[in-house]
């Protein structure tokens, strides 16, 4: 079970993004999924891109929550999350179907996950060292 904690959740978002792109094309990101009328009289349109970004934010929250856990699986998760972030960066630069704002923002969320994960782990370790002295 600890093995699953070591797997970064952003790899799931990365796979889902690619399945969406393979299923359609990069233009599928702008397809409308929902039209919700608001009290103000305007209509809020939710696109595939919006849904991916919401999923990315949820995964970011779960990854930050997971970073508070200590152990070897946490260290492995940080390492794998760093690799996933590098994949996001390289793919954004190199592959044309990934050179869009949605993929950039998902990659940015992955970078925030890496930075927050290391920061939280270091802060928790420092606190543990201080309390043991």
- In this prediction, residue 126 has a pLDDT band, given cuts at 50, 70 and 90, of low
- In this prediction, residue 120 has a pLDDT band, given cuts at 50, 70 and 90, of confident
**Number of residues that this document lists for the chain:** 133
Q: Which residues does 66 contact at the CB level (< 8 Å), separation at least 6?
A: 5, 9, 74, 77
Q: What's the farthest any 2 CA atoms get from each other in the chain?
A: 62
Please report the beta strands in the chain, taking only residues with DSSP state E, as ranges in sequence order.
32-37, 43-47
- Summarize pLDDT for 55-72 with one digit per residue, the tens: 999 999 999 988 887 677
Which pLDDT value is given to residue 130?
A: 62
- In this prediction, residue 3 has a pLDDT band, given cuts at 50, 70 and 90, of low
Residue 46 sits at φ, ψ, to 5 deg, of -105, 125
pTM assigned to the model: 0.86
Angstrom distance (rounded) from CA 101 to CA 107: 10
Angstrom distance (rounded) from CA 129 to CA 65: 21
User: Exposed/middle/buried for 4, CB within 10 Å: 0-12, 13-18, 19+?
Assistant: exposed
Which pLDDT value is given to residue 86?
A: 97
Asked whether the predicted pLDDT for residue 1 surpasses 70, the reply is no
């Amino acid at each position: 079970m600890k093995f699953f904690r070591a797997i970064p959740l952003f790899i799931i978002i990365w796979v889902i993004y690619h399945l969406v792109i393979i299923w359609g094309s990069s233009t599928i990101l702008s397809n409308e999924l929902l039209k919700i009328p608001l009290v103000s009289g305007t209509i809020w349109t939710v696109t595939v891109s919006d849904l991916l970004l919401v999923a990315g934010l949820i995964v970011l929250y779960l990854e930050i929550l997971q970073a508070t856990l200590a152990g070897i699986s946490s260290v492995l998760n940080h390492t794998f999350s760093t690799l996933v972030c590098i994949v996001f960066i390289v793919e954004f630069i190199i592959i044309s179907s990934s050179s869009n704002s949605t993929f950039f923002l998902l990659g940015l969320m992955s970078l925030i996950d890496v930075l927050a994960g290391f920061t939280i782990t270091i802060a928790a370790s420092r606190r543990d060292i201080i309390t043991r002295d």
